[in-house]
Structure 1
Amino acid sequence: MDSSNTQDQRIAKMTFALVYPMYLAKVEKKGRTKEELDQVITWLTGFDNKKLQELIKEMVTFETFFQEASLHPNAHLITGVICGYRVEEIANPLTQRVRYLDKLVDELAKGRKMDKILRG
């Protein structure tokens, strides 16, 4: 990814709690549930629901969010284009993880089966 350092820094400083409602609105608009969204997030990050809600309440940045996460061993299987970039080609590890999450939310909103989303 030919991402500028500025874009990577902007993504790192974004607050997860401010983006989460947008993820939720996107999936609910397409008939999916908050529970399904949380399942996708917990699969990727290793957080349980209690920890996820705690991080939302603390208004952590994506940088802190993913520093505390234990990325799923199959996260590397998340491929495809999101925001005009192939997620598997993104050089910055944090930006790649955020785009992994974006890609999973996008797949959920598009009606993909959960076992496919979770790379089962």
Structure 2
Amino acid sequence: MQAYQADIAKFEAANTKVFGISMDAFPSLKAFADSIKVTSVPMLSDWGRTATKAYGLYNETNGYGRRATFVVDKEGKIAKVEAGNTAINPTGAAEACDLLEKKLVVKPPTDKP
């Protein structure tokens, strides 16, 4: 989240919004954001695991969600997905947002997260 906050100007320049979504309850998310001094990225709670399951990120075995970054275009279509360790690096997401803002083609995701 700190890396996304550090690059927030890139996202704003591409007319995009950044949100963090976690399965943790809101009080935990607020404490986490406060502890790492993230103030420009809203944190959303998926306490019921609805979004996590819908996007195929929920691991039934251990009860955890996989890290993922989704770039969603203005029509609500997923334009880019990064899952796993690369999801914490905002570079690919920022580039995809920039391409979308310029109305250039973004290569669609090739594998489901």
Q: What is the TM-score when the length of structure 1 is the normalising length?
A: 0.28
More helix, by proportion: 1
**Bigger relative contact order (CA 8 A; separation at least 6):** 1
Q: What is the TM-score when the length of structure 2 is the normalising length?
A: 0.29
More strand, by proportion: 2
